[in-house]
Amino acid sequence: MLLRHTTAKEIDRHALTINPAKICQPIGAMYAALGLHGCLPHSHGSQGCCSYHRSTLTRHFKEPVLASTSSFSEGSSVFGGSANLLSAIETIFTVYNPDVIAVHTTCLSETIGDDLHEIVEKAKEEGKVPEGKEVIYCNTPSYKGTHITGYSNQTAAFVKFFSQTTGKKDNTINLVAGWMEPSDINEIKRIAKVMNIKTIVFPDLTNVLDTPLTGTFNMFPKGGTTIPEMKATGDSKCSLGIGPYSTLDACTKLKEKCGVDFETVEIPIGLKATDRFLMTLSKLAGVSIPDSLTEERGRLVDFIADNAKYFWGKRVALFGDPDILIPTVEFLLTLDMKPVYLVTGTPGKHFDEKMVELLKDKVPEAKFKSGEQADMFQLHQWIKQKPVDLLMGNTYGKYIARDENVPFVRLGFPIVDRAGHNFFPKTGYIGSENLAINILRELLDFQDRTCREEKMEFQM
């Protein structure tokens, strides 16, 4: 057994986290910063963090992930990292020449209390920031929240540093993208285009973490929200935050700074979340939903109706990030599946409330947990107590899936043991269909592998 020490018997844990369902803030900030065109993320801490974040993102995307670090030594940890960041800024602009450096912090620089504002101002005074270049920053203490918090902080920093009002409103809708795959953002952009809505998407990871192989290496790929676009967000008609955990802060900041009203919706995974997303967009933009999208919806409904019996009543365990889990759980309920066990390491009441709302009637036996000790060890213990028919989550789930012999659908971050997963969206009706197809395939592959020989089905 891969996880041979996991037993069904639970103890009251208050201090030990085992097999976490979360990561720390700076990796989220690094990811979001890559969604700004011409931006080099910079990790203000000791260099181990930066290497780890880059490696994790690279393993997931199979793409270059560039970022620099202040490379703290013991001396800077005691006397402050100001000199390190000043020298880093000079070296970065001289050697790599990004348009923007987006600085985030780690538990090290946060614990010692480095003042980023002061350091960056000093860099400007000393002429280390060339004309037309920007250094932005956000605080991302690893001991608060999770990678989702870091993503949210970085996205809010884009607003803080760039969004402006000219006083002249533009008929544009800001789509504030929560933590999704580039393919998911791409699908959302496609839907907006089909609906003929003018949008600014930020952070925009498309054409950044899915670049072609051309024989040249572009440190700064063509994708990403541009600075002029980011500035213009202050003049937009309104903002739509896609995934409240990762976008609420940015939306709120934009409202405070530039008076841009906002709404938030769940990431459009599944039939109902996509319905709401389209209706909200349609309402905000004052446009009707075109037939082509209604047809896409119909195709998804058709697929589910055709295969309803395979989904019916299947018990599912899920772990991951709240903005992904909430709509996914809702979608599983649409499929008449039973999401019975759910954990997210990301703390927050919204998740707990949504789970109660979604599950209390349909799956009253469901167990869920968020925050500290809401980890995969807990999830596995629940599975040991009463098994499930399907497990969904990031790559770390495969150890449980193998031990417990359950089908496994990879979903979330990071997925490091398969390639190409990031080409297929799971947002919108088409993405939801991808997800449902994936679930069905895993269930049927499992049946084919494990059923008695005489029960092998040639057709479905």
Partner 1 sequence: MAELKNTERDVDTILEDMKSFRDEIITKYPPKVAKKRAKSMVINEDPNNPPEIQANVRTVPGIITQRGCTYAGCKGVVMGPTRDIVHIVHGPIGCSFYAWLTRRNETLPTSDSDPNFINYCFSTDMQEKNIVFGGEKKLKQAIREAYELFHPKTIAIYTTCPVGLIGDDVHRAAKQMMKELDNKVNIFGFSCEGYRGVSQSAGHHIANNGLFRNIIEKGDYEVKKDEKKYRINLMGEYNIGGDEFEMERIFKECGINLVATLSGNGTVEKYHKANTADLNLVVCHRSINYVAEMMETAYGIPWIKVDPLGATSTVKMLRKICKYFDDKELTDRVEKVIAEEMDKVEKVREEIYPKTRGKLAMLFVGGSRAHHYQALFDELGMKTISAGYEFAHRDDYEGRRVIPTIKIDADSRNIEEITVTKDEKKFHPRKTQEEIDQLSKEGVDLNDYKGMMHDMSKGTLVIDDISLYEMDKLIERYHPNVFCAGIKEKFCVQKLGIPLKQLHNYDSGGPYAGFKGAINFYRDIEAMVGASIWKEIKAPWEKKTYAQAQ
Closest CA to 204 of 176, 233, 227: 176
Cβ proximity to partner 1: between 55 and 165 the closer is 55
- Residue 82 binds partner 1, judged by CB under 8 A: no
- Residue 419 binds partner 1, judged by CB under 8 A: no
Which segment (79-87, 169-177, 237-245, 294-302) binds partner 1 by CB under 8 A?
A: 79-87
Q: Residues 288 to 307: which contact partner 1 by CB under 8 A?
A: none
Q: Which residues pair with 175 in a beta bridge?
A: 201, 240
- Residue 264 binds partner 1, judged by CB under 8 A: no
What is the closest distance, in whole angstroms, from the C-beta atom of residue 203 to partner 1 in the complex?
Answer: 20
- Residue 423 binds partner 1, judged by CB under 8 A: no
From residue 432, alpha-carbon distances to 98, 276, 426, 428 in Å are 37, 14, 5, 6
Would you list the DSSP string of 250-273? HHHHHHHHH--EEEEE----SHHH
Out of 94, 164, 385, 450, the only residue in the binding site for partner 1 (CB under 8 A) is 94
- Residue 45 binds partner 1, judged by CB under 8 A: yes
- Residue 213 binds partner 1, judged by CB under 8 A: yes
- Residue 438 binds partner 1, judged by CB under 8 A: no
What is the closest distance, in whole angstroms, from the C-beta atom of residue 38 to partner 1 in the complex?
Answer: 16
Out of 38, 47, 252, 255, the only residue in the binding site for partner 1 (CB under 8 A) is 47
Classify residue 405 as exposed, middle or buried by CB count within 10 Å of its CB (0-12, 13-18, 19+): exposed
Out of 32, 33, 36, 108, the only residue in the binding site for partner 1 (CB under 8 A) is 108
What is the closest distance, in whole angstroms, from the C-beta atom of residue 16 to partner 1 in the complex?
Answer: 4
Q: Residues 304 to 343: which contact partner 1 by CB under 8 A?
A: none
To which H or E segment does residue 173 belong? strand 170-177
Which segment (63-71, 251-259, 280-288, 428-436) binds partner 1 by CB under 8 A?
A: 63-71
Query: How many Å apart are CA 308 and CA 314, to the nearest integer?
Result: 11
Residues 254/247, Cβ–Cβ less than 8 Å: no
Which segment (8-16, 233-241, 258-266, 404-412) binds partner 1 by CB under 8 A?
A: 8-16
Using CB under 8 A, count the residues that bind partner 1.
85
Cβ proximity to partner 1: between 13 and 299 the closer is 13
For 165, phi then psi, to 5°, come to -110, 135
Q: How many residues does the chain have?
A: 460
CB atoms within 10 A of CB 165: 16
Closest CA to 197 of 326, 285, 122, 307: 285
Enter the tokens of residue 7: 């037993």
- Residue 71 binds partner 1, judged by CB under 8 A: yes
- Residue 427 binds partner 1, judged by CB under 8 A: no
Site string for partner 1, 341-380 (x = CB under 8 A): ----x--------------------------xx---x---
- Residue 164 binds partner 1, judged by CB under 8 A: no
From residue 177, alpha-carbon distances to 32, 232, 427 in Å are 9, 16, 12
Which segment (24-32, 230-238, 299-307, 358-366) binds partner 1 by CB under 8 A?
A: 24-32
Query: How many Å apart are CA 74 and CA 79, to the nearest integer?
Result: 9
Per-residue burial over 379-399, b if 16 or more Cβ lie within 10 Å, else e, is bbbbbbeeebbbbbbbbbbbb
Query: How many Å apart are CA 428 and CA 442, to the nearest integer?
Result: 21
- Residue 405 binds partner 1, judged by CB under 8 A: no
Q: What is the DSSP letter of 224?
A: S
Which segment (206-214, 234-242, 262-270, 325-333) binds partner 1 by CB under 8 A?
A: 206-214
- Residue 26 binds partner 1, judged by CB under 8 A: yes
- Residue 42 binds partner 1, judged by CB under 8 A: yes
Enter the tokens of residue 357: 């709302």
- Residue 122 binds partner 1, judged by CB under 8 A: no
Query: How many Å apart are CA 194 and CA 214, to the nearest integer?
Result: 30
- Residue 415 binds partner 1, judged by CB under 8 A: no
